[in-house]
Amino acid sequence: AQTVTQSQPEMSVQEAETVTLSCTYDTSESDYYLFWYKQPPSRQMILVIRQEAYKQQNATENRFSVNFQKAAKSFSLKISDSQLGDAAMYFCAYRSPGAGTYKYIFGTGTRLKVLA
């Protein structure tokens, strides 16, 4: 069974600085999808960025980028020029692409605090 591990329960970053959130996963599949979701206090889960495992190029969305290391099964999120609005819980998620169940498996989350 696949598992997702986020080893940092909480992180802090100064406004305008850069922070990296860690995520590792375990799978025997060769193809899959990885996601980072943001959950602000409103509870609304918002997709931040996604990565297809077959793509070697790291995904980028504006200030958000990932460092995808397939062999190491690592999928970290880098937030550049941090803003107060980035403060939230961040969840890493895994999903299989193939036949069978398509459930998303989430890590336990990292609470990001942004200091003014």
Partner 1 sequence: GAGVSQSPSNKVTEKGKDVELRCDPISGHTALYWYRQRLGQGLEFLIYFQGNSAPDKSGLPSDRFSAERTGESVSTLTIQRTQQEDSAVYLCASSLRVGTVPEAFFGQGTRLTVV
- In the complex, the residues that contact partner 1 under the rule CB under 8 A are 33, 35, 37, 42-45, 47, 50, 91, 93, 95, 97, 101-109
**Each residue of 52-84: b (16+ CB within 10 Å) or e?**
ebeeeeebeeeebbbebeeeebebbbbbeebee
As measured in angstroms, the least distance from the Cβ of 103 to partner 1 is 5
As measured in angstroms, the least distance from the Cβ of 16 to partner 1 is 28
As measured in angstroms, the least distance from the Cβ of 82 to partner 1 is 22
Nearer to partner 1, 3 or 14 (CB): 3
Per the rule left: phi > 0, alpha: psi between -120 and 50, beta: everything else, 73 is left
Nearer to partner 1, 71 or 99 (CB): 99
Distance CA 33, CA 35 (A): 7
